[in-house]
Amino acid sequence: MVIDRAGRRAGFAVVVLAYGLAGLAAWGAAVAVGGAPPLVVTLVADLAATVVVFLASVVVANASLYDPYWSVAPPVIVVAWVVWQGGLTGRQVALLVVVFAWAVRLTANWAVSWRGLAHEDWRYVRLRDQRPSWLPFWVVSLTGIQLMPTLVVFAGLLPVWPAVTVTGRPWGLLDAAAVLVGLGAVVIEGVADRQMRRFTRDPANHGRVNDRGLWRCSRHPNYLGEITFWWAMWLFALAAAPNWWWTVAGPAVMVLLFVFVSVPLMDRRSLERRPGYAGYMRRVPPLLPFPVRPGA
- pLDDT greater than 90 at residue 140: yes
Q: Is residue 144 part of a domain?
A: no
The domain in which residue 74 lies consists of 69-113+158-283
Residue 21 lies in a domain: no
Count: domains in the chain: 1
pTM value is 0.93
Q: Is residue 255 in a domain?
A: yes
Average pLDDT score, the chain: 93
Is 24 contained in some domain? Answer: no
For residue 3, the model assigns a pLDDT of: 54
pLDDT in tens, 179-225: 999 999 999 999 999 999 999 999 999 989 999 999 999 999 999 99
Domain assignment of residue 85, yes or no: yes
Is 55 inside any structural domain? no
- What is residue 296's predicted lDDT score, i.e. its pLDDT? 45
In a domain, 243, yes or no: yes
* Domain annotation covers residue 11: no
Three-class HEC string of the chain: CCCCHHHHHHHHHHHHHHHHHHHHHHHHHHHHCCCCCHHHHHHHHHHHHHHHHHHHHHHHCCHHHHCCHHHHHHHHHHHHHHHHHCCCCHHHHHHHHHHHHHHHHHHHHHHHHCCCCCCCCHHHHHHHHHCCCCCCHHHHHHHHHHHHHHHHHHHHHCCHHHHHHCCCCCCCHHHHHHHHHHHHHHHHHHHHHHHHHHHHCCHHHCCCCCCCHHHHCCCCHHHHHHHHHHHHHHHHHHHHCHHHHHHHHHHHHHHHHHHHHHHHHHHHHHHHHCCCHHHHHHHCCCCCCCCCCCCC
Give pLDDT, residue 16: 96
